[in-house]
């Protein structure tokens, strides 16, 4: 099964004609509340794609936390390892202007309390096939979780977002790194994304996503393998990468070989970008099957 140790936020999204200036108050048009955070997004995408998926994270003892747990549960994610922190549930305060420009303020809240690997989280990781990590929790817990997974023989897949340079020790404990082009250049410290992927592939397997150009899988000593994206009309690419990684992990944990797992992940991401929304736009396994079959 798949365990996701990561962030859970409630996205609080207002739409406006334009972004407000400093000190200015403007009227908005719509307001939506959507469960988000890279951890929760990946868990939801993986669970909708099939197999057992557990989310290890933290929410506050508040309404937003209960709503996030309900959304995870509705997608089929096991939330028994989620802890109630003595801090409010994480929130992302998002303003989206008519042209698509946005501003985002993230308040980590409960997510920020996870500085150490809790026994409850260590226990679910030990029983998993695959651990999914991102960089929205404190780096100390990401490092501890990767080291623990390595010691338990659990495959670790890291989405290095938000982008930041990574300690060597963390890269060494990761089996598969899934950066987008921007993240790959920052971690490798090299401007060209393909060169960056080649540099990183000396440390661990790398699957770099290229947006509408697909994804490339680079491993030490082998030619990179490119899987094209499916040509679709994108209306909202929010969480495309999280859907891609969640579905990839679910396929790998089910024993699917990498090229086929990449194809399924690309298909799921292509379906998700055709719908507005983030975690709520991840397709089910049946929808991915229908897309690939038709």
Query: Segment contacting ligand ADP (CB under 6 A): 8-16, 18-26, 191-199, 237-245?
Result: 237-245
Asked if residue 266 binds ligand ADP (CB under 6 A), the reply is yes
Contacting residue, 6, 36, 109, 241, with ligand ADP by CB under 6 A: 241
Decide: helix, strand or coil at residue 127: coil
Q: Which residues contact 93 (CB under 8 A, 6 or more apart)?
A: 12, 104, 105, 106, 107
According to DSSP, the β-strands at 9-16 and 90-97 are parallel
Contacting residue, 40, 137, 145, 210, with ligand ADP by CB under 6 A: 210
Cα 213–chain centre separation:
19
Asked if residue 287 binds ligand ADP (CB under 6 A), the reply is no
Decide: helix, strand or coil at residue 27: coil
Residue 39: closest CA among 19, 23, 57, 60: 57
Give CA–CA dist 67/91, Å, rounded: 12
Shortest distance, position 2 Cβ to ligand ADP, whole Å = 18
Give CA–CA dist 248/262, Å, rounded: 6
Half-sphere exposure of 255 (CA within 13 A, CB side): 0
Residues in the chain: 294
For the segment 148-187, give every residue that binds ligand ADP (CB under 6 A).
180
Contacting residue, 20, 50, 138, 214, with ligand ADP by CB under 6 A: 214
Give CA–CA dist 121/62, Å, rounded: 21
Is the Cβ of residue 128 or residue 229 nearer to ligand ADP in the bound state?
Answer: 229
Is the Cβ of residue 28 or residue 211 nearer to ligand ADP in the bound state?
Answer: 211
Q: Decide if 61 is catalytic.
A: no
Site string for ligand ADP, 104-143 (x = CB under 6 A): ----------------------------------------
**Residue sitting closest to ligand ADP (CB):** 241
Q: Which residues bind ligand ADP (CB under 6 A)?
A: 180, 209-212, 214-215, 229-230, 232, 234, 237, 240-241, 244, 266, 269-270, 273
Which residues are marked as active site? 242
């Amino acid at each position: 099964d798949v365990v996701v140790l990561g962030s859970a936020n409630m996205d609080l999204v207002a739409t406006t004609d334009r972004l407000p200036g400093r000190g200015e108050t403007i009227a908005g048009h719509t307001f939506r509340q959507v469960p988000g955070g890279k951890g929760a997004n990946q868990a939801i995408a993986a669970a909708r794609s099939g197999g057992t998926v557990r989310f290890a994270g933290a929410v506050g003892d508040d309404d937003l936390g209960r709503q996030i747990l309900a959304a995870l549960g509705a997608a089929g994610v096991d939330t028994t390892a989620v802890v109630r922190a003595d801090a409010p549930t994480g929130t992302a305060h998002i303003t989206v202007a008519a042209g698509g420009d946005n501003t985002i303020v993230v308040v980590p809240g409960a997510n920020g309390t996870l500085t150490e690997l809790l026994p409850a989280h260590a226990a679910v990781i030990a029983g998993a096939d695959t651990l999914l990590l991102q960089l929205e929790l404190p780096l100390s817990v990401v490092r501890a979780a990767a080291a623990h997974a390595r010691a338990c023989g659990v495959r670790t897949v890291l989405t290095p977002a938000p982008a930041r340079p990574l300690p060597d020790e963390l890269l060494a404990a990761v089996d598969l790194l899934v950066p987008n082009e921007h993240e790959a250049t920052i971690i490798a410290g090299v401007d060209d994304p393909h060169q960056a992927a080649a540099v990183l592939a000396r440390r661990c397997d790398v699957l770099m996503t290229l947006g509408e150009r697909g994804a490339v899988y680079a491993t030490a000593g082998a030619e990179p393998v490119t899987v094209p994206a499916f040509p679709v009309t994108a209306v909202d690419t929010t969480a495309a990468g999280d859907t891609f990684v969640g579905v990839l992990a679910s396929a790998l944990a089910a024993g699917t070989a990498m090229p086929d797992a990449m194809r399924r992940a690309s298909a799921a991401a292509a379906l998700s970008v055709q719908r507005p929304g983030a975690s709520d736009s991840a397709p089910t396994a049946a929808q991915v099957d229908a897309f690939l079959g038709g």
